[in-house]
Amino acid sequence: MSDTTRHSKEEGLLSLRQRILEAPLMPTMLRLSAPLMIGNLVSSLYWLIDALWLGLLGVKQLSIPTLAYYPFLVVYAFIAGLSMAAVSLVSQTLGRGDKDEVIEVVNRVLGASLAIAVVAGLVGFAAAPLFIELLGVSSDMASAATTYLRVQFLALPFATLMYTFRLISSSLGDTRTPSTLLIVALLLNIVLDPLLIFGIWVFPRFEVLGAAIASLVSRLAISLVIVALMVRGFHGVRLAPRLMAPSRRVLAVMASVGLPVGLNSSVAHAAEYLLVGLVTRIDMLVGTVAALAAYTIGFRVLDVLRSVVDALSQGAAVVIGQSLGAGLEERAKAAVNTLTWLLLVVLSLSGLLFVYEGDGVAGLFTDDSLAIQETWRYLSVLGLSLPLLTFFMTAWSIAIATGKTKVITYIAIARAVLIRLPLAYILAFLVGMKSMGIWAAIAASNAAVGLLSMVWVTRGKWVEAAALRKYEAS
């Protein structure tokens, strides 16, 4: 690379920084969030499209990916949480204007994340039968879910690379590139899904396994594109093998900032995994798969909503992190206020949709009357708790941006372990509410953490570039 080209790319990096720190706040946040929103929707559509195609095979086939999804997320979410340290560290370092430090941090985070993902993928592949066996489903569903899960673990390093690149690119101020790559991956997945599920043209009929293979191939293809971009130089940041080796400073920040997030995500998904076990046991008691179908459909719909909410939170986190790195505390506080109002509007409108049109939403996925009725019961109860989640999502954005992740991690773990799971079991089996007890427990836990998060946000003790301070201290 010539000196002129290198200088141009470094200037581009500083230009991204200037736009985030000096442009009007609301347009800046929406500009950052819009591509992320598209990217999040695309990511959720991976599973949604699988569900739509598999729903044509039957209710059991529709539900199989859900059995594999949570065991996979227990592992994937831990790695993603560690990588989340990139948001606070890269954004704060760039906010201060340290280009060389940004390049080193990017390489160190990528190297550590990929190394962990490779090891975790191999372990997960071997342990897949045990994960599924713990759910206590029928043997035919267990066999299909195990195979599906194993393919997902083979794809874990590629999924990790895509996610970590997305975090890094967004922290630099470029949210369009990773979103574009996700769209390409989705288009490839859309093409491959029906071919591999139904055995169209020269392809064999894999059914449920075909959906997993389609995801694996599309993620592999985009991972190769990301490597090519980074080798050439991405906004002045290039892959450097010598910088991808473990670094005490970066690992210290990943442990301090990312480890709580990773542990929380893993615990939360492990709790969801156990919750699916409760749902399947209710279905076994009543002799249907309506509750699992409702949970599956509800998850797909919530995944779309999370795509919007997470994008707004991630866009705000970039502004908050760079503002704190540059010493602009008032701009960081203003970004938090703006985010809170945006989330409140989105979640409140979504709650109304779930309450009044839940059966219509369910009808998009299945024509089974019992599944539609159960899904409406789930969504209508859940919708009542969504507005309070505003404060929980705002708190997460602040935690990721600043590097102060411990308090909100405790709150999130309390939701999953101390409130949701015990209450679901008590209401569903001891009180006798069955599936409605689980739906009520989910809603109650959402409301509880929303109130706790509101207290933490309003106290205002988060206003500090904590990740940068920890990096310098180590």
Q: Taking the alpha carbons of 243, 244, 248, 254 in that order, is the dihedral positive or negative?
A: positive
CA-closest candidate to residue 275, choices 74, 409, 47: 74
R_g of the chain, CA atoms, integer Å: 22
The CA distance from 193 to 177, in Å, is 24
Angle at 239 between CA 238 and CA 244, to 5 degrees: 135
3-class DSSP state of 237: strand
Q: In tens digits, what is the pLDDT along the chain, a chain of 474 residues?
A: 444 444 444 445 666 677 787 888 888 888 888 888 887 777 767 666 777 788 788 777 777 777 787 788 778 888 888 887 777 777 777 777 777 778 888 888 888 889 889 999 999 999 998 888 877 777 778 888 898 999 999 999 999 999 889 888 888 888 888 889 988 988 898 889 899 989 898 888 888 888 889 989 999 999 999 999 988 888 778 888 888 877 777 777 777 777 787 787 778 777 887 888 888 888 888 877 788 888 888 887 887 888 889 889 988 888 888 888 778 888 888 999 999 999 999 999 999 999 888 888 888 877 788 888 888 999 999 999 999 999 999 998 888 888 787 888 889 889 988 999 999 999 999 998 988 999 999 999 999 999 999 998 888 777 776 666 666 665
The CA distance from 366 to 140, in Å, is 21
Q: Which two tokens stand for residue 111?
A: 């190297």
3-class DSSP state of 385: coil
The DSSP line for 245-296 is S--HHHHHHIIIIIHHHHHHHHHHHHHHHHHHHHHHHHHHHHT-SHHHHHHH
The domain ranges of the chain are 3-473
For residues 439 and 468, is the Cβ–Cβ distance under 8 A?
no
